[in-house]
Amino acid sequence: MKRFGVFLVAALVFGGLELFPLPSAAALDSIIGTWKLQSCVSETIATGKGENVYGEKPDGYISYSSDGRMQAILTAGNRIAPRSLPPPDEEKVKLFNTMLSYGGTYKIEGDKVVHSVDISWNQAWTGTEVVRFYKIEGDTLTITALNQANGVTSQATRQVLIFKKVR
């Protein structure tokens, strides 16, 4: 058993570190920056039917910084403007239901980006990890969230968000 322990330590010190893959510098560099939301489609996995979660022209940004922090704010493109300040309760509900916002730290794990949420528009997300698949092609960032329950139908969905790099 001691031999195995010595071998394991030697393997980790002398090149076995690939057992714990780290994101490449290129992967980290390519995601760093601010990205503007272009579309957000929720697809019901059982039927393949999709819908634009935030309408035809959603608004929002996601930003990744070199210090490992991230933040996102997404809104529907057709949000109401409140009649007064503060808005009446029914308008507050509509405004809350047409947005998403959170921030925290992030790490890259292969084709996944893991957001560790430390502040959120929905306190249920605070203190959780949000795992997303990501792909960058040129100035386009595609983030896919799998197997989320639709808040209305409770059916499993996949959300695909497409962003363009802000220059």
Q: pTM for the complete prediction?
A: 0.80
41-77 pLDDT, tens per residue?
999 988 889 999 899 999 999 999 999 999 999 999 9
119-143 pLDDT, tens per residue?
999 999 999 999 999 999 999 999 9
For residue 138, what pLDDT is reported?
96
3-state SS record for the chain: CHHHHHHHHHHHHCCHHHHCCCCCHHHHHHHCEEEEEEEEEEEECCCCCEEECCCCCCEEEEEECCCCEEEEEEECCCCCCCCCCCCCHHHHHHHHCCEEEEEEEEEEECCEEEEEEEEECCCCCCCCEEEEEEEEECCEEEEEEEEEECCCCCCEEEEEEEEEECC
* Residue ranges of domains in the chain, CATH in brackets: 22-165 (2.40.128.280)
The span from the first CA to the last CA of the chain, in angstroms, equals 56
For residue 151, what pLDDT is reported?
59
**Is 123:96 a contact under the CB 8 Å cutoff?**
no
**Residue 68 — left, alpha, or beta (φ > 0 → left; ψ -120 to 50 → alpha)?**
left
Which of 3-7, 31-35, 59-63, 106-110 is least confident?
Answer: 3-7
CA distances from 56 to 37, 61, 75, 84, 99 (A): 11, 16, 11, 27, 15
11 compared with 97, residue with greater pLDDT = 97
- Burial class for 33, CB neighbours closer than 10 Å (0-12, 13-18, 19+): middle
